[in-house]
Amino acid sequence: MTQEPTPSPNQNQNPPLHATSQLIAHARAELGQVISGQSTAIEEVLIAVLCQGHALLEGVPGIAKTLMVKALGRLLGLGFQRVQATPDLMPADILGTTILRPGSDAFVFHAGPVFTDLLLVDEINRMPPRTQAALLECMEERQVTIDGARRPLPAWFTVFATQNPVDFEGTYPLPEAQLDRFLMKIRVAYPSEADELQMMRRHHAGTGAGPLEDAAITPIPAGMLAAARAEVRAIRIEPELYGYMLALARRTREWPTLLLGASPRAALSIMRVAQAAAAFDGRDYLVPDDVKRAVQPVLRHRVILKPEAELEGFDADRALADVVATVPVPRQ
């Protein structure tokens, strides 16, 4: 009697990154109808969502930072709220407040825009420090405490904040505690000439309602985002790579051009972003190049340069590139 062959683990099953690969392909196709170019920024915004982390988008005005986040919310089928930061913005304007119900002596809670899935804080560095601090609990614990009552935020709650790198008048620099709560700092650059030309043609051919309305983005199927996040968390990490990621984070704390190095939270963030980077390459396991890919967007806003290094023309990305070059890569 012949014995039936034993099926392989993945036989008659979905491939390891089935939901993630579908989500990435769908996102690239749909967002590409709205935003010309910016492939790296789009990829990093998707990585932030897959890692369930917050992101800080930095770039000059008019390069589609806000449009990118609005299009992402429509693609993922998530709720979206936008807050325009101004110097007179108060914590209650974001979190909400308790108000007296008309005709009674009872107080009711009026929820602020923070009670949403995707919160876009436009020009976050224009908010005063007191209002910036109101986001600390939201970003770390995904809850709001008002009048002693804890109110949970939606499960998909994610903050995307934008800031202008050249306009410093009337701004308040973000404190290190706030910056450390952002999983990534995404630099949005000018589009290429070809991408800018495509953008002009799209606007000319549009209806005038706006690129987001003209594109008619098709949302992803229900459950795909949750499945993709689970797949990314399950990406395999070899023991040697734990040591490599930790060595990179610890080396920044003793680097000669850096005044402040990466925190322990930063090392965990490198791991999460590296897992998502592996998923974008279609792999269910981590390699050193995934870790290198994660270092700059994860650490550039967490490290502080020494004043003399800034005078010599260093920036965070250059210092981090030097750190990566000196840490031995594990051989597998």
Two structure tokens written together for 111: 């929820």
- How many helices (H) and strands (E) the chain has is answered by 14, 11
Per-residue model confidence as pLDDT tens digits over 227-280: 999 999 999 999 999 999 999 999 999 999 999 999 999 999 999 999 999 999
Domain assignment present for 120: yes
User: Do both 175 and 55 map to the same domain?
Assistant: yes
b/e per residue, 88-109, with b = 16+ CB within 10 A? ebebebbbbeeeeeeeeeeeeb
For residue 146, is pLDDT > 50? yes
Q: How much helix, strand and coil, in percent to the nearest 5, is found in the chain? A: 45, 15, 40
Residue 202, pLDDT score: 86
- Domain match, 303 and 217 both: no
Residue 278 has what pLDDT? 96
Query: Where residue 3 falls among pLDDT bands split at 50, 70, 90?
Result: very low
Average pLDDT over residues 5-30: 72
What's the domain range around 194?
Answer: 15-234
Q: Is the pLDDT of residue 19 over 70?
A: yes
Residue 6: pLDDT band with limits 50, 70, 90 = very low
190 located within any domain:
yes
Residues 205 and 320 in one domain: no
The strand pairing partners of 99, in sequence order, are 108
The C-alpha atoms of residue 313 and residue 187 are separated, in whole angstroms, by 19
- H or E stretch including 81? strand 80-84
What pLDDT band is residue 9 in, cutting at 50, 70 and 90? very low
The pLDDT of residue 42 is above 50: yes
Q: Specify the DSSP class assigned to residue 126.
A: G
Q: Are residues 217 and 284 in the same domain?
A: no
In a domain, 326, yes or no: yes
pLDDT > 90: percent of the chain: 70
Given a cut of 70, is residue 116 above it in pLDDT?
Answer: yes
Assigned domain for 7 exists:
no
Tell which of 213, 234, 255 closes a domain: 234
DSSP 176-204: HHHHTTEEEEEE-PPPPHHHHHHHHHHHH
Per-residue pLDDT at 210 exceeds 90: no
Where does a domain end: 208, 234, 260?
A: 234
Q: Determine which of 59-73, 168-182, 202-216, 277-291 has the lowest per-residue pLDDT on average.
A: 202-216
Is 5 a member of any domain?
no
Closest CA to 33 of 209, 215, 205: 215
CA distance 289 to 111: 43
pLDDT digits over 57-97, tens only?
999 888 889 999 999 999 999 999 999 999 999 999 999 99
Q: Considering Cα of 127, then 129, then 130, then 136, what sign does the dihedral take?
A: positive
Q: What is the CATH number of the domain that holds 320?
A: 1.10.8.80
For residues 221 and 259, state if they share a domain.
no
| b/e code 20-43 from CB counts within 10 Å (16+ = b) | bbbbbebbeebbebbbbbbeebbb
Q: Looking at residue 8, what is its pLDDT?
A: 41
Same structural domain for residues 70 and 200? yes
Q: How confident is the model at residue 7 (pLDDT cuts 50, 70, 90)?
A: very low
Bigger pLDDT: 7 or 213?
Answer: 213
Task: Look at residue 10 and tell me if it is in a domain.
Answer: no
One domain, residues 228 and 301 = no
- Enclosing H/E stretch for 243: helix 239-252
Beta bridge partners of 100: 107
User: What are the backbone angles phi and psi of residue 94, rounded to the nearest 5°?
Assistant: -105, -45
Domain boundary among the residues 191, 212, 234 is at 234
Q: Is residue 213 part of a domain?
A: yes
In a shared domain, residues 138 and 274? no
CATH number at residue 181: 3.40.50.300
pLDDT band of residue 325 (cuts 50, 70, 90) is very high
Q: Classify residue 236 by its DSSP letter.
A: B
Tell me the β-bridge partners of 97: 110
Q: How far is CA 226 from CA 3, 185, 210, 292, in A?
A: 39, 23, 30, 26
Residues 288 and 226 in one domain: no
Least confident of 115-124, 160-169, 191-200, 274-283: 160-169
Taking CA atoms, 266 is separated from 133, 180, 235, 248, in Å, by: 20, 7, 19, 10
Going by pLDDT thresholds of 50, 70 and 90, the confidence category of residue 332 is low
pTM for the structure as a whole:
0.89
Pairing label, strands 143-146, 96-100: unpaired
- Could you tell me if 175 and 271 lie in one domain? no
Do 222 and 202 share a structural domain? yes
Beta strands at 182-187 and 304-305: parallel, antiparallel or unpaired: unpaired
What is the count of structural domains for the chain? 2
Average pLDDT, the chain: 90
pLDDT for position 15: 60
The answer as to whether 9 is a domain residue is no
Pair 182, 323 in one domain: no
Contacts (Cβ under 8 Å, ≥6 apart) of 175: 129, 132
**Section 22-33 average pLDDT:** 92
